[in-house]
């Protein structure tokens, strides 16, 4: 989920009815964008006739702008992360990913490459850790956070190989669907083919374009937010009013 530098122009200007849009100009209308968004637009630019591509860009930017304005009015933190996740889930509900080889218990992507999260998502994860009394190996998390991009293994992966925070998992996890054979995901040299859909990338790009948006590696960001909020251990007594 790395992105280009934020632009002061987070809200795009209206698109002129041009059929010869330069790619740099399109991206200039967007504050920040995911690499997948750029990849998908480039693909469409190659595949579609110029007029159809211009129409797609216009529609995409209108959706981007609507989502950006809506998210800007949503309180920052866990609530805004949930709003982004709802939008992404809605997109996959109305247009389910096809030919996906991911299945329950297949957690190669949770162990083979580090995910990036927004500050909002880190706040959500930290609040859930606290509310649900999820035990986190803080020492391991610190080691992972220091290793940054080399960090492997998600702190939320459970011993029975499931996601311990599935309902609040970050956008990076929600959007990750592969169509290549799942054996390749566990192979460091495997040629994995992730499926990319435009709408979830527009939503994530809008979230990234918020003026206060920040992203970082999951272990680093979760540690940062856990340190801001006291941890509750499972062994702590439950105090009832």
Report if residue 81 touches ligand SF4, rule: CB under 6 A: no
Report if residue 222 touches ligand SF4, rule: CB under 6 A: no
Among 38, 80, 115, 175, binds ligand SF4 (CB under 6 A): 115
In the structure encoding, which two tokens stand for residue 122, read together? 């880190």
Q: Segment 141-160, which members bind ligand SF4 (CB under 6 A)?
A: 154, 156-157
Binding residue count for ligand SF4, defined by CB under 6 A: 9
User: What character string, x for contact with ligand SF4 (CB under 6 A) and - otherwise, covers 21-60?
Assistant: ----------------------------------------
Minimum Å gap between C-beta 202 and ligand SF4 is 21
Report if residue 226 touches ligand SF4, rule: CB under 6 A: no
Using the minimum distance from each CB to ligand SF4, give the nearer residue, 41 or 165: 165
Among 65, 80, 169, 177, binds ligand SF4 (CB under 6 A): 169
Minimum Å gap between C-beta 222 and ligand SF4 is 9
Report if residue 87 touches ligand SF4, rule: CB under 6 A: no
Report if residue 173 touches ligand SF4, rule: CB under 6 A: yes
Among 11, 76, 163, 186, binds ligand SF4 (CB under 6 A): 163
Report if residue 186 touches ligand SF4, rule: CB under 6 A: no
Distant-in-sequence contacts of 155-160, Cβ < 8 A, 24+ apart: 155/218, 155/219, 155/222, 156/110, 156/125, 157/107, 157/110, 157/111
Report if residue 177 touches ligand SF4, rule: CB under 6 A: no
User: Which of 7, 1, 3 lies closest to 211 in space, CA to CA?
Assistant: 7
Report if residue 136 touches ligand SF4, rule: CB under 6 A: no
Minimum Å gap between C-beta 199 and ligand SF4 is 20
Residues 6+ apart with CB under 8 A from 161: 105, 107
**Which residues form the interface with ligand SF4 (CB under 6 A)?**
110, 115, 154, 156-157, 163, 165, 169, 173
């Amino acid at each position: 989920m790395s992105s280009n530098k934020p632009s002061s122009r987070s809200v795009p200007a209206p698109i002129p009815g041009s059929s010869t849009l330069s790619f740099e100009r399109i991206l200039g209308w967007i504050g920040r964008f995911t690499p997948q968004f750029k990849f998908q637009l480039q693909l469409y630019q190659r595949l579609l006739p110029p007029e159809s591509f211009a129409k797609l860009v216009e529609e995409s930017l209108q959706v981007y702008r609507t989502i950006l304005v809506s998210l800007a009015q949503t309180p920052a933190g866990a609530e805004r992360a949930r709003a982004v996740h709802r939008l992404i889930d809605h997109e996959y509900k109305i247009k389910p990913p096809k030919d996906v080889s991911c299945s329950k218990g297949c957690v190669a992507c949770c162990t083979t490459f580090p995910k990036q999260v927004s500050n909002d998502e880190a706040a959500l994860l930290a609040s859930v850790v606290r509310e649900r009394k999820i035990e986190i190996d803080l020492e391991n998390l610190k080691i992972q956070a220091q290793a940054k991009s080399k960090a492997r293994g998600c702190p939320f992966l459970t011993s029975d190989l499931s996601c311990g925070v599935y309902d609040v998992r970050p956008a990076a996890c929600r959007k990750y669907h592969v169509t290549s054979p799942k054996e390749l995901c566990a192979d460091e040299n495997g040629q994995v083919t992730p499926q990319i859909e435009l709408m979830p990338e527009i939503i994530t790009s809008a979230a990234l374009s918020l003026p206060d948006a920040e992203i970082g590696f999951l272990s680093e960001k979760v540690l940062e937010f856990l340190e801001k909020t006291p941890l509750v251990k499972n062994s702590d007594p439950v105090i009832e009013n």
